[in-house]
């Protein structure tokens, strides 16, 4: 997509200076090919995660315990669809198309966050997802609001504004269960036990094994390392769990006075890589359901296009 012009070194100098000055790169600016492809990969993966992420929670919409909870959950899942659309639009400004992105998701050539390959076994999982999964996402996403690529940064600003309700509704839901009957409390604890470690994995592999991190930091696509953000998340969660009256499933979790942070136990990275490779509990189900939804919607897209063509409203 990038035009290779004779004056490329000069263009690259302008690009570097813009990034160094903490200004934003905009769609029609010259940018290095690798910057463009890194952004497409990251934004696409992010968009796919929002869309696939609708499935585990949608699983509980029909079984929400009250009308209030059902309305909240529907609004949250609808927000996630919106997040996916903001992000697909941002990716499209880099010269890719919506169809191409969806095709790559459906054929497994682009990934989505591994966290959504875990099942939602009980109603408490909806709470644990809101608190921990959306919480981890927010920790990751807040720095992305200052990402060097303008359209991505702007999408993240919108998304972060909306995420805060997601996290709070989850926390409130868990609070209600934790303060409920013994069985409800146990259900909340079980959900937290299952979602805690996968949530920590959401920050990606440790810094010394993270393939793209250094370059992304230099380009100011990324502002903090995976381990830094993971530590920030752990430090935030410990007192929140305490207030919930729930424990986090890590016997090594202790305050380290010297570091000023909580120490935590080793993460099972073998599990992370295994789920990423496609061997998680729900990989197959998530992607086949996504493909089916797309195919089932084909006639709607075609009918709308035919209607537009007939009435000439699309103007092209």
Q: Is the dihedral of CA 29, 31, 33, 37 positive or negative?
A: negative
- Is residue 149 within the footprint of another protein (CB under 8 A)? no
Closer by beta carbon to another protein, 68 or else 316: 316
Cα 129 to chain centroid, rounded: 12
Which two tokens mark 184? Answer: 């409800």
- Is residue 313 within the footprint of another protein (CB under 8 A)? yes
Tell me if 148 sits within 8 A of 84, measured CB to CB: no
Closer by beta carbon to Fe ion, 46 or else 185: 46
- Is residue 57 within the footprint of Fe ion (CB under 5 A)? no
Which two tokens mark 83? Answer: 């997040």
Residues 164-193 binding Fe ion (CB under 5 A) are 166
Cα 77 to chain centroid, rounded: 13
Least distance CB 151 / another protein (angstroms): 6
- Beta carbons within 10 angstroms of residue 71's beta carbon: 12
- Residue 25: φ, ψ to 5°: -85, 130
Residues 14-33 binding another protein (CB under 8 A) are 26-30
- Is residue 272 within the footprint of another protein (CB under 8 A)? no
Closer by beta carbon to another protein, 243 or else 305: 305
Which two tokens mark 268? Answer: 């099972």
Looking at the DSSP bridge assignments, the partners of residue 149 are: 25
Least distance CB 313 / another protein (angstroms): 4
- Is residue 9 within the footprint of another protein (CB under 8 A)? no
Least distance CB 91 / another protein (angstroms): 9
- Is residue 48 within the footprint of Fe ion (CB under 5 A)? no
């Amino acid at each position: 997509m990038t035009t290779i012009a004779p004056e490329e070194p000069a263009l690259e100098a302008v690009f570097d200076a813009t990034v160094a000055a903490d200004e934003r790169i905009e769609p029609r600016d010259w940018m290095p090919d690798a910057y463009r492809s890194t952004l497409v990969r990251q934004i696409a993966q992010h968009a796919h995660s929002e869309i696939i992420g609708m499935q585990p929670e949608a699983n509980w919409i029909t079984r929400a315990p009250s009308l209030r909870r059902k309305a909240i959950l529907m609004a949250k899942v609808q927000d996630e669809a919106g997040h996916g659309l903001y992000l697909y639009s941002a990716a499209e400004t880099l010269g890719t198309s919506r169809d191409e992105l969806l095709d790559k998701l459906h054929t497994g050539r682009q990934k989505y966050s591994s966290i959504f390959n875990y099942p939602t076994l009980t109603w408490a999982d909806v709470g644990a997802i809101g608190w921990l999964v959306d919480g981890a996402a927010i920790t990751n996403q807040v720095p992305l609001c200052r990402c060097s690529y303008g359209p991505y940064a702007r999408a993240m600003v919108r998304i972060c504004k909306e995420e805060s309700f997601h996290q709070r509704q989850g926390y409130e839901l868990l609070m209600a269960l934790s303060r409920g009957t013994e069985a409800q409390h146990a259900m909340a604890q079980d959900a937290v036990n299952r979602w805690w470690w996968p949530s920590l994995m959401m920050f990606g592999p440790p810094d010394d094994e993270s393939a793209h991190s250094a370059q992304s930091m230099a380009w100011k696509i990324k502002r903090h390392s995976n381990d830094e953000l993971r530590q920030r998340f752990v430090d935030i969660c410990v007192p929140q769990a305490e207030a919930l009256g729930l424990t986090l499933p890590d016997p090594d979790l202790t305050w380290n006075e010297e570091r000023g942070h909580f120490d935590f136990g080793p993460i099972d990275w073998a599990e992370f890589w295994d789920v990423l490779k496609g061997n998680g509990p729900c990989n197959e189900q998530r992607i086949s359901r996504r493909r089916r939804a797309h195919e089932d919607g084909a006639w709607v897209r075609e009918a709308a296009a035919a209607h537009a063509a007939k009435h000439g409203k699309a103007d092209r």
